[in-house]
């Protein structure tokens, strides 16, 4: 389950920021996760709770913000949102697409005390 590794990486970010900015507790942490990031959100939420034990984010609320998949269509030249990685262009039906977004995962912000 790579979600535990992701949760541990989030813990490192929290601890680094706590040291750098001098806060002691995270009340809420918001993550942005792209549609194509291959992250099982329920597994990540479970792993987050376990990985944050003993850290400034122990007991913090985790909010996950879903980001759409995006691609540039070579057939119509438009930047489009995709329902799936292999979906055709929703504007023209073209299948010559270059992914431009949707595989990211990042800490958007933290509410701290």
Using one digit for the tens of pLDDT, what is the confidence trace for 43-52? 999 999 999 9
Which among 49, 53, 44 has a CA at the least distance from the CA of 61? 49
Q: Report domain extents, the chain.
A: 2-112
Q: Cβ contacts of residue 25 below 8 Å, gap of 6+? A: 56, 57, 60, 112, 113
Which among 29, 23, 8, 10 has a CA at the least distance from the CA of 109? 29
CATH class name, domain 2-112? alpha beta
Tell me the whole-structure pTM to 2 decimals. 0.86
Q: Identify the band that residue 87 occupies on the pLDDT scale cut at 50, 70 and 90.
A: very high
- Residue 25 CA from chain centroid, whole number: 21
User: Crossing angle of helices 41-51/2-21, nearest 10°?
Assistant: 50
Residue 1: the pLDDT is 57
The per-residue pLDDT for range 26-85, each reduced to its tens digit, is 999 999 999 999 999 999 999 999 999 999 999 999 999 999 999 999 999 999 999 888
């Amino acid at each position: 389950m790579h979600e535990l590794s992701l949760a541990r990486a989030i813990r490192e970010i929290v601890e680094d920021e706590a040291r750098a900015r001098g806060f002691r507790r995270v009340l809420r942490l918001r993550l942005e996760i792209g549609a194509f990031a291959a992250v099982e959100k329920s597994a990540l939420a479970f792993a987050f709770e376990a990985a944050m034990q003993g850290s400034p984010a122990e007991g913090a609320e985790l909010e996950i913000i879903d980001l759409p998949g995006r691609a540039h269509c070579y057939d119509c030249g438009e930047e489009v949102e995709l329902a799936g990685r292999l979906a055709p262009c929703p504007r023209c039906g073209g299948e010559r697409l270059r992914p431009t977004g949707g595989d990211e995962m990042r800490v958007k912000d933290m509410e701290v005390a």
